[in-house]
Every structure is written in structure tokens, then in C-alpha cells.
A and B are shown apart, each in its own frame.
Chain A
Amino acid sequence: MDWNFIIFSLVKIAIVVGVVQGIVAYSVLAERKISAWIQDRVGPNRTAPPFMKFVPVLGPFLTRLGIFQPLADGLKFLVKEDFTPAGVKKIYFWLAPAVSVIPAMLTVAVIPFGSNLGAQKMVIADLNVGILYTFGIVSMGVYGIVLAGYAANSKYPFFGGIRSSAQMISYEISMGMSVIPVLLIVGNLNLGQIIGWQSGHGWLVAYAPLSFIIFMVASFAETNRTPFDLPEAETELVGGYHTEYSSMKFALFFLAEYSNMVASSAMMVTLFFGGWTLPFWGLDQPAQSLAMGVLQIFVFLAKMLFFMVVFIWVRWMFPRFRYDQLMDLGWRTFLPLALVNILITAVWLWLRS
């Protein structure tokens, strides 16, 4: 065994998981703040640890920004009563949050979040089948939700679970189909190689814009975000699949949803927007120095956060789709479009060769 590899992998895993959790916590805050701004409100601006009132200018500013709100939210989730309703199927009830959180976290493993720092590649697992791995893991996410809906032994969570299984399975197909043109163009499944190709030829969004649109819409559906948030439609299903959950188990579903958002933002950046590259200042080549490596990580984070903001922003733009409209859009619009897209790309590549 190569001890060097193990130690560095563990360090990378720890850092990536920490950063993803941090982004998740603060994207909840971002969600609340952005929704407030869009709705002419102020948003969370009171929470602060007691010593903050002794910090002069910075303290009130951070407090008004709500920087400490996620800490309070996390603490609240930890100390709340973890209630198990009578009549739930206990094993599945306990299993469901874990089953939905684990795939969400696992997806991040193959994403290259930077070129390299020193001799270390900035990706946890440099898989040759990165995209296939991602789709395999993402499709497991539905089990957590279905299991939660089933385990709760209650009407509304059950509807949520049923809806989500139908929705996620339908949109997974369009999602998978939408990526095939990318694979045809690049000719490689390794996400690092896809980024390498983009640094030479320009971002893939210019080559396959339709793919990007379908991928984006499908990832909205996959992460259960508005306008496809039927599994947790508050107005119809109380809380959807997590109605019966409380405390940390509920928080885990939340975590899974936002981790999925992080993962699909990262996938969009990697597949269509050049990952950690920028076409100037020599940022499109693997870093030679430490500073460049760090800068490229920040480039990746910035691109990813942009898509997170888009995810949040879109939530306050559209009403929810009706169930039949959702299915119609998935099967009769996006699937044929994705197939046509594959055909067009294949013909184009054939004509060029």
C-alpha cells in the first residue's frame, strides 16, 4: 500500500467534506437572504454570539448579514427533540436519512475542484468513468426519499415518496442522454480529461448548449428544487417525504438536498464551464506554483457558487409544475430533445472527421 496516497486522500476527503458542509450551511443562509431580497424583506439579521456586541464596526455588519444564523440553526437541529412517531417502520425510518445523505456526499468524490497543489491532484478519486460513477450514485439518492415516504407510514410523506420516485427516474434519463453529446465530443469519461479538453478547445457550453439546458433543467428536477419540488410541495403535501421527521434526521434530508445542489452545480461547472480553468492569465493550464493551484480552486468555487445562486434564484421565480405537466415535460419534451441532440452532434462530428 502507498501510505502517501492514503494519507493525502484522507486529508483531501476531510477538507472537501468540510467545505461542502460549510457551503451547505451557508447556502441555507443565502437561500433565506436572497429570498428576502427578492420579496422586499430583510432576512435574518439578529443572530449573533454575545461577544459580538464588543466588536466595533465589523460585528454589527456581520450580524446584519446573518453570518451567525447557520450556527444557530445547526445548534437548534442538534438539541431539538428527536421524535419518532408511533407506527413508523423504525428500521427504514432510521435508515432513510442516511440513505439520502450518503449518495449526495459521495458524488463530490470525482469532481476535480482544482488542477494540483504541488504533486497532488486536486480530486479525491481520479476515476476513468467519472461521469458514469456520478450518475450511478445520483440515482441512488431517490431511495432515501422513497424510503422516507414509505417508512413514515403516513399519507402525505407517501405521496411525496411516490412523486419523487417517478420524477427522479424520468429526469435521470434525460440527464444521462443530455451528457452523451459531451462524451461524443470529448471522447473520454474522465472528468479531469474533460476539463483538459475544454482548456484547449473552449468551454463545452458553446459546443453543446442544448445539452447544458437539458442538464440544468434535469438537475433542478433531480435535486427537487422549484419548479420541480413536487416531493416536498409544502402547499399540497404538508412537508412531503420529511413530514414526520424532526431534529437531526430532518436536518440530514436538508443536508442531502443542498449537497445535491452543490454536487450538480459542480457537475455543471465541470462538464460545461471549464471546471477550474479560466481562459486568461494562464489559468487554463495545470498550476506550476502553489498560489496558482489555490487560485484555480477559488475559480472553481466561484463558478460553482454562481450556479448555487442560480438554483436559489430560480426558486423564487416560478410556480410549481403540475404533476402531469412535469411528466409531460420530462418524457415528451426533454427526452426527444436529448435524443435529437445526440443525433445532431454525432452527424456533426461525422461530417467533420
Chain B
Amino acid sequence: MAITVNRKPLTFWEKLYLPAIVGGLKVTLKHAYGTLFQGKVVTMEYPEQKWSMPENYRGAPYLVKDQDGDTKCVSCQLCEFVCPPKAIRITPPGDSARLADRANAEKMPLEFEINMLRCIYCGFCQEVCPEEAIFLQKDYSLTGTTRAEMIFNKEKLLALGGVSPGIQKWKDKLAEAKAQENFPVKL
């Protein structure tokens, strides 16, 4: 059913448009004064000022190092397997290459590449990683001039990722192993 809304007829004073004009002048002047003299500006001047990202923000995925500065990744390739757009490519060490740069790790990736043009920031790699070696961090404005530039290699990913102590899994494992050398185990 159609609802009829009766419009209130304008009074003579309102028909002169004068109250509206004065109101408009007041509002616009107030805002111009606020912008010019009180710094009430809503504009964020982007490259100089940036949003502060929330803790759970899903930006670009980077590799992290553990508390000793070693690569956490053990080249299990789960992230490569789970990655929906196939942005991750891992070259495992194979037989001949160096296995790992730290104690108690069996191997480390020879090369770890993320194609940032393909990455969809879904966070599956972070979720699937058993070593907590890859995290979606807060970077959101990745730019480059060529496609090749946007494929980040292991070195770059580690440099960008920084250190994330996380659960310090290997430190605990080491203590556990050391403890097991003396029998009976006292933990």
C-alpha cells in the first residue's frame, strides 16, 4: 500500500530562503575556519602518514627467523602445496646441498620464492606451517616496475620478515634432548 507523506507547507519566512542561506553560510564558514585555523582536517596525506594496521592484519607473507637468527623454514613444502594461487615455489635442498644452518633441523630450503603478483593474502601458508616460519605481515603497498621484481626470493623474504621468536620450538626441543642424555629424565 502506498504511503502518502504530506509535505509540510513552507511558511512565508522559509519561502524567502533566508534562514537556509544564513544556515548555509554559518555551516560552511564554521568548517572552513576549522580546517584553516584549527587543523580539523580529515584528509590523511598518504605517503607521509599511514594507517596503523590491526594486529591480525593480513598483508604480504614473509619468512621469519628464530631467536638465534636462523631460518625457521624446514622446506616441508606444505605451504607450496596449500597455496591456492600457486604463488609459492620452494626449491628443496636435494641430496648434495647444504641441509640446514642450525642444529636440530633436518633441512632448509635452497630457494624460497613468493610471487607477490599472484599472492592473494589468504593466509593459508601461515596456517599450515608446522614451524611457524611464515607470517602474513603488515605490508600492503607492494609495488615494482617489472614482474621479475615482484618475485621475492628467500633472502629478501627473510630480510623483510625479521625475527619472530614465536614458540621457540627448537630451543625447547634442544633442552628436551639434552635432558634425555641423562637417564632417568628429569624435566
Contact = CB atoms under 8 A, between A and B. Distances in A.
A41 B28 contact: no
Contact of B20 (A34, A45, A318): A318
B24 A37 contact: no
B22 to A, nearest CB: 10
Interface in B92-134: none
A316 interface: yes
Contacts of A317: 21, 24-25, 27-28
B31 interface: yes
A38 interface: yes
B24 A318 contact: yes
A223 B159 CA distance: 60
Interface centre among A38, A313, A316 (most CB of B within 10 A): A38
B18 to A, nearest CB: 11
Contacts of A36: 35
Contact of A39 (B20, B31, B36): B31
B45 A40 contact: no
A41 B40 CA distance: 9
A316 B32 CA distance: 11
B34 A40 contact: yes
B52 interface: no
A42 interface: yes
A41 B42 contact: yes
If over half of B's interface residues share one DSSP class (helix, strand or loop), that class is named, otherwise mixed; here it is helix
Nearest to B33: A37
A41 B32 CA distance: 9
A37 B34 CA distance: 8
B121 to A, nearest CB: 29
Contact of B35 (A41, A45, A313, A318): A41
Contacts of A41: 35, 41-43
B45 A42 contact: yes
A280 B25 CA distance: 30
A40 B25 contact: no
A40 B42 CA distance: 6
Interface in B147-167: none
B43 A37 contact: no
B70 to A, nearest CB: 44
A135 B43 CA distance: 43
Given A42-B45, A316-B28, A317-B28, A37 B20 contact: no
A317 B17 CA distance: 12
Contacts of A42: 41, 43, 45
B31 A38 contact: yes
Interface in A311-333: 313, 316-318
Interface in B21-75: 21, 24-25, 27-28, 31-32, 34-36, 40-43, 45
A40 B35 contact: yes
A318 B19 CA distance: 12
Given A37-B35, A318-B20, A313 B28 contact: yes
Interface string A19-59: 00000000000000010111111100100000000000000
Interface string A273-317: 000000000000000000000000000000000000000010011
Nearest to B44: A42
A318 B42 CA distance: 22
Interface centre among B24, B25, B36 (most CB of A within 10 A): B24
A84 B43 CA distance: 37
A318 B18 CA distance: 12
B71 to A, nearest CB: 42
Contacts of B25: 317
Contacts of B43: 40-42
Interface in A191-224: none
Contacts of A34: 32
A37 B20 CA distance: 21
Contacts of B34: 40
Nearest to A313: B28
B36 A37 contact: yes
A40 B24 contact: no
Contacts of B40: 40
Interface centre among B25, B34, B36, B43 (most CB of A within 10 A): B43
A38 B21 contact: no
Interface of A: 34, 36-42, 45, 313, 316-318
Interface of B: 20-21, 24-25, 27-28, 31-32, 34-36, 40-43, 45
14 contacts: A37-B32, A37-B35, A40-B35, A40-B40, A40-B42, A40-B43, A41-B41, A42-B41, A42-B43, A42-B45, A316-B28, A317-B28, A318-B21, A318-B24
In the A-B complex, list the 10 residue pairs whose CB atoms are closest, starting with the nearest: A317-B24, A42-B43, A37-B35, A37-B32, A38-B28, A40-B42, A41-B43, A38-B32, A38-B31, A317-B28
Given A317-B25, A318-B21, 8 more contacts: A38-B31, A38-B32, A39-B31, A40-B34, A41-B43, A42-B41, A317-B27, A317-B28
